[in-house]
Structure 1
Amino acid sequence: MKKLFFTLLFLGLCISMNAQDQPKIGDILEINEPYGQQYQYVKLPKLNILKKRGVVNNYKSVYGNKVVVEDIKTKKNGTTYVTLKKEDGSNFFGFLSTIKASYEKAIDAGELSISK
């Protein structure tokens, strides 16, 4: 009986911790510097596109930007995608109002972090 109780208690805690990891509209996140040269899970324009537009030739302008979760989509496979806009209302690179990211993968890779 005790084993069943502790098993159910453990499962309940796991489910509640997993539920807390889900984003909500209005959550504030921060874009971090990627470990490689490019972002893997935050979908930004390729560097050659930015260079052709004459904007910049690197992603340094987005490092440390605070972004707000504007929309959330969960696919059938359980992957959660978020649409992000800048907290200050300006555009990314002067022409993108929103960007998208694979939420869990971007958090795990350190490309996004939950802002405090």
Structure 2
Amino acid sequence: MKKLFFILLFLGLCINTEAQDQPKVGDVLEINEPYAQKFNHVYFPKANILIKRGKVANYNSVYGNAVVVSEIKTKDDGTTYVILKKKDGSKFFGYLSEVKANYKASLEAGELSISK
């Protein structure tokens, strides 16, 4: 009887943990400084595109920004992408209203974190 209880408890915890890995529209995340020199899983425009638009090619302006998940897209291979908008309604670099990010990879790399 005890074995059955512990098995059910373990399965319940596994299912609950898996459910938390899935984003929901309206989730608030925070953009962190990447460990590498650039963002690999949050798809911001490259520096040359920013320079062509007359913007300073500096990603420091996005560090610490609160963003909201506005849309979720899942590919056939199971990869989940989220469309992010700034929580305050302003635009990234003064012209981009939203950016795309690989949800799981960006969390694992520390590029995004879940705000509490």
TM-score by length of 1: 0.93
Give the aligned CA root-mean-square deviation in angstroms: 1.2
Instruction: State the one-letter code of the partner of 2:114.
Output: I
Pairs within 5 Å for 1:48-67: 48-67=48-67
Alignment of 1:89 onto 2:89 = yes
The TM-score with structure 2 as length reference comes to: 0.93
Q: What is the Cα deviation at residue 17 of structure 1?
A: 1.2
* Distance apart, 1:4 and its partner CA: 4.0
Instruction: Give 1:26's aligned amino acid.
Output: G
- Using the TM superposition, name which of 50-59 and 33-42 deviates more: 50-59
Distance of 2:2 and 2:77 partners within structure 1: 35
Deviations 1:76-112 (A, max 9, x none): 2221110000011111111111000000110110000
Query: How many Å separate the matches in 2 of 1:15 and 1:85?
Result: 29
Q: Residue deviations 1:32-88, cap 9 Å, x none?
A: 001111101000000111112111112111001110100011222221110000011
1:26-105 to structure 2, matched below 5 A, reads 26-105=26-105
Please give the alpha-carbon distance, in whole angstroms, between the structure 2 residues aligned to 1:83 and 1:26.
Answer: 11
CA positional deviation for 1:8: 3.0
* SS at 1:26 equivalent: coil
Which structure 2 residue ranges, 5 or more long, are not aligned?
Answer: none
Q: Aligned pairs, how many?
A: 116
Could you tell me which amino acid in structure 1 is paired with residue 100 of structure 2?
K
> Matches of 2:3 and 2:80 in 1, distance apart?
34
In the alignment, residue 115 of structure 2 is paired with which amino acid?
Answer: S
Kindly state the Cα deviation for residue 3 of structure 1 after the two structures are TM-superposed.
3.1
